[in-house]
Amino acid sequence: MIPSWWINARAQQACAGRGDCGPDECCVRPMLAANAYCIKYSDEGHSCDPSAMLVDMENEVYFDHCPCFSHLTCVNFRYNSRCVNPDTLSLLTGHRFAPVPNPVQIGDPIPVPKQTQGM
């Protein structure tokens, strides 16, 4: 069995740090890999890990995966974590959530509000 990160990483540019990657990418050293690669930040609705770790703080090299884009926060739902826009959470809960490195514990997935047409 081949890990999915290996298939994705082999198609990506190798990097020594954040400066080697595009604006929508971070530099990641996948588990068991000798090199780091430019991989896209996690986008809204995508799975995430609230404990994204830097293995090289000076060069901003993450271990195993990229965090969410900076305008999103990783929210821990009951069985998984997803990148969520804090403004969407505030509309649904009535509380303003700022992007934080730790997950927000929520019992069940929150439904996405429907868009209203023409007012």
pLDDT tens-digit map of 80-90:
888 988 887 76
Question: In sequence order, what are the residues at sequence separation of 6 or more whose Cβ sits closer than 8 angstroms to the Cβ of residue 79?
Answer: none
Of the listed ranges 20-24, 32-36, 75-79, 106-110, the least confidently predicted one is: 106-110
Hey, what amino acid is at 89? L
Query: Tokens for 27?
Result: 């530099």
Say if residue 95's pLDDT is above 60. no
Tell me the torsion sign for CA atoms 70, 72, 75, 79: negative
pLDDT in tens, 19-61: 999 999 999 998 888 899 999 999 998 989 888 888 888 889 9
Say if residue 104's pLDDT is above 80. no
